[in-house]
Amino acid sequence: MADKRRYNMVITIFLLILSVGISGAVPAPRAAAGGGSKGQWQLLLSNTGVVAMHMALTHHNTVMLFDQTQSGRSGYRLRGHSNRGRCTGSSRADLDDSSCYAHSIEYDVSRNRIRPLSLSTDTWCSSGSFLSNGTLQQTGGYGRGSRRIRYFRPCADHVCDWRQSKRSLADDRWYASNQLLPGHDRAIVVGGRRVFTYEFVPKRSPSEGSFNLPFLHRTYDRDAGGNNLYPFLHLSSDGNLFIFANRDSILFNFRQNKVVKTFPRIPGNGSRNYPSSGSSVILPLDHRNKFQRVEVMVCGGSTRGAFRAANERRYLKALSSCGRMVISGNRHKWNMEYMPGPRLLNDMLILPTGHVLIINGARSGSAGWDNARNASLEPYLYKPNATLGRRFSVLRSTRIARMYHSSAVLLPDGRVLVAGELRLQAFVPHYMGRQYHTYRPDNVTISYGTGLHGQIGVRHGGEFSVEFWLGRRPSNDVEFNAYAPPFTTHSISMNQRLLKLRYRSMVRAEDGRVNAVVEAPPSPNVAPSGYYMLTVVNGGVPSISQWVKFINA
């Protein structure tokens, strides 16, 4: 609790200092003019009013940012929304009542503005996933919020707000992870602080509770704050679940509560999960191998003993290693390589090009309030298909430290929104520079019909039309990439995946208009139903993404 009191005190002081420019402080930015190959940084808002401990992009091109509800004052007072209507917005008692303030906001990307929202229970260190209709299903948290289930369904008129379910989770879920499963809009919630179980939301039957997962017992490090919290979850294209915790990993059949495979331990003297807090992605799935080659990557984390040392004010150097392993097939080995520097608390995002951006974090210490030092200010770009030894490059540095309780999400226009503390930034990758505009697919539109039972979307295995304009002939390397936006918190991007889709035909007219017929992913194992960002990439230069919805046949 000392950790929480320090956090509340610092945030309150910071809010008092940065009490101006809460919204609309900077016009919505345009694409960067240049910046070479290292990208650019933009300051969007000097004060969001709410710390972005959690962040998620909706299909209405808004971003949800929210903090813990007991963090003291935020930049937005509520009137009657909480505390049984006792918040007047003017009384002195409101100043000391955290429930009289908004701890969640919706950021409108195009207008660069913020709308306060109301949360009724504490979301501190919680988890989430998007349902097929675009609703954010948000689970767990702290205290009275540890078993709560909340929903936010984004809306075009911007009047929607959080709704809390009357149903509860079976176990406390603080520092747990979520993964949307194939079919039935069901998510699995795994782990939590001193919780060694998993459960489904919604339940498969009224009497269903949670299920013991011995793997979590084995990977728990009692003397190091757990080191298996926020386990990395990735849905394999065979329908099984990859679970990584601490240094170990398994392939898990969640339907039968059975471990299918136990993988080799990742090399290195350190841990990868909270509070060691490295990060992980499932590398892009590709139609050229029928989406059957599934490879995961884990980068960064803390040296053995870092958590205890940080509590003694000694900050050990973070890990610089990354491991890649193919989890499909029958041969499994971690192939190790090294980032340009040590890193923990890092976010890993898949860009529209299929490259991986490693951003935010620190060079030493551990997760936990004030437990990290030496901010990692330079993002790294990782090109998975480049020659070994030439995959990493160092991008332009930011001036704002983004360590504990920071987050990042990819936006449809190609920028990366970065938050944590109270300033809101965007990292602008080099591919958005004007020098690439003649290569960039423009005015992308997606057309598809109505599925079964009147559903709007493209059924798995079906096809849809993509039309765009291109001033010159397309390169020999045109891709149609579909991206599932994640729920991000604590260096973990839950449910993130990118699929390289096959196009059946592509014809360019004399006026530059291009028409393509593209195949949807073959099954919900490859791509769980829901909204995806579809990007046309021409010779490495991406278009602005448009939303497409994949539905069960």
CB neighbours of 295 closer than 8 A, spacing ≥ 6?
282, 283, 324, 325, 326, 327, 328
pLDDT value for 92: 58
CATH 1.10.1380.10 fits 434-551, yes or no: no
pLDDT value for 14: 37
**217, 234, 236: which is closest to 178 by C-alpha?**
234
Domain ranges of the chain: 2-24+55-432, 434-551
pLDDT value for 129: 98
Residue-by-residue pLDDT tens, the chain, 553 positions = 445 444 444 444 433 333 333 333 333 333 333 446 899 999 999 999 999 999 999 999 999 999 999 877 888 888 655 444 567 655 555 556 778 889 999 999 999 999 999 999 999 999 999 999 999 999 999 999 999 999 999 999 989 999 999 999 999 999 999 999 998 899 999 999 999 999 999 999 999 999 999 999 999 999 999 999 999 999 999 999 999 999 999 999 999 999 999 999 999 999 999 999 999 999 999 999 999 999 999 999 999 999 999 999 999 999 999 999 999 999 999 999 999 999 999 999 999 999 999 999 999 999 999 999 999 999 999 999 999 999 999 999 999 999 999 999 999 999 999 999 999 999 999 999 999 999 999 999 999 876 556 678 999 999 999 999 998 888 889 999 999 999 999 999 999 999 999 999 999 999 999 999 999 999 999 999 999 999 999 999 999 999 999 998 6
Tell me phi and psi for residue 159, to 5 degrees: -115, 0
Token digits for 354?
């299929």
CA-CA distances (angstroms) from residue 220 to 140, 250, 549? Answer: 20, 15, 38
DSSP structure string for 411-466: -TTS-EEEESSS-EEEEE-GGGSGGGGGGS-EEEEEE--B-GGG-BSEETT-EEEE
pLDDT value for 11: 41
Q: Rounded to an integer, what distance in angstroms lies between the CA atom of residue 471 and that of residue 418? A: 32
DSSP reduced 3-state for 499: strand
Q: Rounded to an integer, what distance in angstroms lies between the CA atom of residue 442 and that of residue 546? A: 11
User: Please, are residues 199 and 192 in contact by the beta-carbon 8 Å criterion?
Assistant: no
Q: CB 390: neighbour CB atoms within 10 A?
A: 8
Token pair 């839950």: residue = 494
**487, 426, 531: which is closest to 112 by C-alpha?**
426
Token digits for 431?
């591919």
Q: Rounded to an integer, what distance in angstroms lies between the CA atom of residue 537 and that of residue 352? A: 8
Sign of CA dihedral 306, 310, 312, 313: positive
Report CA Rg, the chain: 22
Amino acid 489 reads T
Query: Which run of H or of E encompasses 138?
Result: strand 136-139
Sign of CA dihedral 542, 548, 550, 553: negative
Q: Rounded to an integer, what distance in angstroms lies between the CA atom of residue 29 and that of residue 383? A: 27
Tell me phi and psi for residue 266, to 5 degrees: -70, 135
* Burial (0-12, 13-18, 19+ Cβ within 10 Å), 341: middle
For the segment(s) 2-24+55-432, the CATH number from 2.130.10.80, 1.10.10.410, 3.40.190.290, 2.30.22.10 is 2.130.10.80
